[in-house]
Chains A and B, each alone.
Chain A
């Protein structure tokens, strides 16, 4: 019988970068291009087999923010890893995501993470340069994703799940 472990992961990033859409695509396989801002937190779960282990991902979709204030940090309690999400068509959301990551690391120590440059289907409006220092520093940690086309969405969650197993 396969071992099951439960791991809490959070989606971290600015508002409007597509965190909820990524969860909806991954958990429910649906996509809606209308923007509906998240207030507070929504929690979903998904089982991911990783070798002999089944990882039960408890996925926290937290309202977007530019900075990790006390309320934001209250949602992160118990987090095992996180998906750092930026909108590739708004370059500043990557910078904000990196600041969030730094703040979280200072508070909670180093945790497994995967970076997502979302909205890859909008290539014509892309603003994040391929030679952005953060991408060059950890090239294997970043994926270009699209909740719209589902490109790399499953891969992103499973890559993080593998590091949490």
Chain B
């Protein structure tokens, strides 16, 4: 075997600082080449036991037929990394170390990254699994929630229906009794009946709305709304209440407010009445004002009072459901303002409250509302005695409505079934049809409206129902009704609507 040139041997020594030790089979050092101190074996010398300097050789034995053994990247006592090789040569062992610090550092750098990537990858996969499980749980909970919401909505709708139908009769007949009573003669207990029935109705309405708003099931039914008519109604409703409390009530509408706007009339009315009713309740003297302005397809509504004002602490609490604050909260359950704010938000608007103690409170509402142009009457105003078909299977309510309609100069044809309604519509060509949703069967009244439209009937149709109002209204309008009233019916408002649709002056 040829020896390497001396320069190569020098290069190898410079690059790898080899240390070579020949030991006997008892690991006693016989001969040394290189610098033991470089690897931390400074005390190593001839006659010494290699195993005392390097722990790695404790327990080491060659296997049969083995003459060479390698330990790559062995950390030596000096902290240096070395490749170590043991060779069995004749009756001794030759142990050689080659410095591998640089190689160790490079390998360590690569391995570190690889290991960290694998651990992070594992953690990411675990998180993905957890995320998937969380998503599945959420989906399941959402499904359960939806089911619960549907059950809640059905329950609320059912309860609402059960309350509204008898309240319809109670309020209607009490109004009739009042109307028929001799002028100025008090009727014992009638005020109490009306007040309590209205109170009960208010509670039912609020609970219903709260349920629908919190379950996200409240549907809006926007339509063309006559702003002045709405303000007149509100003024009529609120004016006498304010007057009874010795308060001034002023309604101001800016000239640029469109005559008709596209909003949910029932919900807008509800917001106004709730705020005004509240303002009157808390204001002992002075005035309550309602003003409307218009800017950029938004109605700006302002309800202000000269009441005691609301402390900063209470300004947020008053919007929390079921929170009753203040001394004059009456008999409510603390839902009014919560519903107002939710309704405004649901309609895409915003509500702001400004209040100063001892000065008063102001609610500002900015509500998006597209203007409606070209609103015109659909009916022939030259009819002498308009004919109205009243499709209502509740005889008490049918009696009551008939009286109001006839008093308004209308001819009433009463039917109790959908089939009868379609027959009368064909034979009598009525000027207006007033239909209850359920005529001897669920939804039969609304199906009859669709039937009327299919038959080509073009006159106005008013639908009514004791079911949940938003859903029923949407359903009614979708089958061809022009207007919807929720039960309990306000008989006077219903008749007024009939006359308005017929183009007849009240």
Contact = CB atoms under 8 A, between A and B. Distances in A.
A45 interface: yes
A16 interface: yes
B296 interface: no
A90 interface: yes
A36 B112 contact: yes
B102 interface: no
B115 A15 contact: yes
Interface in A72-97: 74-75, 77-80, 90, 92
A8 B59 contact: yes
Given A35-B116, A41-B75, A71-B72, A6 B108 contact: no
Contact of A77 (B69, B74, B122): B69
Given A36-B112, A77-B69, A41 B74 contact: yes
B111 interface: yes
Nearest to B69: A74
Contacts of A58: 55, 58-59
Interface residues of A, number: 26
Interface string A1-43: 0000011100000011000000000000000000111011111
B58 A74 contact: no
A43 B59 contact: no
Interface string B188-230: 0000000000000000000000000000000000000000000
Contact of B75 (A37, A40, A92): A40
Contacts of A39: 73, 81, 104, 107-108, 111
Contacts of B4: none
Interface in B73-119: 73-75, 81, 104, 107-108, 111-112, 115-116, 118-119
A74 B59 contact: no
Nearest to B73: A40
A3 B349 CA distance: 90
Interface in A36-70: 36-37, 39-43, 45, 58, 63-64
B315 to A, nearest CB: 42
B420 interface: no
Contacts of B403: none
Given A41-B73, A41-B75, A92-B122, A78 B107 contact: no
B59 A80 contact: yes
Contacts of A71: 70, 72
Q: Which residue, of B58, B107, B112, B122, has the highest number of chain A Cβ atoms within 10 A?
A: B58
B58 A40 contact: no
B61 to A, nearest CB: 6
A80 B59 CA distance: 8
A16 B116 CA distance: 9
A15 B112 CA distance: 10
A123 to B, nearest CB: 16
B60 A78 contact: yes
A93 B208 CA distance: 58
B115 A16 contact: yes
A79 B108 CA distance: 25
Nearest to B105: A39
A165 to B, nearest CB: 15
B71 interface: yes
B59 A16 contact: no
A37 B74 contact: no
A45 B55 contact: yes
17 contacts: A6-B59, A8-B58, A35-B116, A35-B119, A36-B108, A37-B115, A40-B73, A40-B81, A41-B71, A41-B73, A58-B58, A58-B59, A63-B73, A74-B70, A77-B69, A78-B59, A78-B60
- 3 nearest CB pairs, A to B: A40-B73, A78-B59, A42-B75
Interface of A: 6-8, 15-16, 35-37, 39-43, 45, 58, 63-64, 71, 74-75, 77-80, 90, 92
Given A39-B107, A41-B75, A92-B122, 6 more contacts: A8-B58, A35-B119, A39-B104, A43-B55, A43-B74, A45-B55
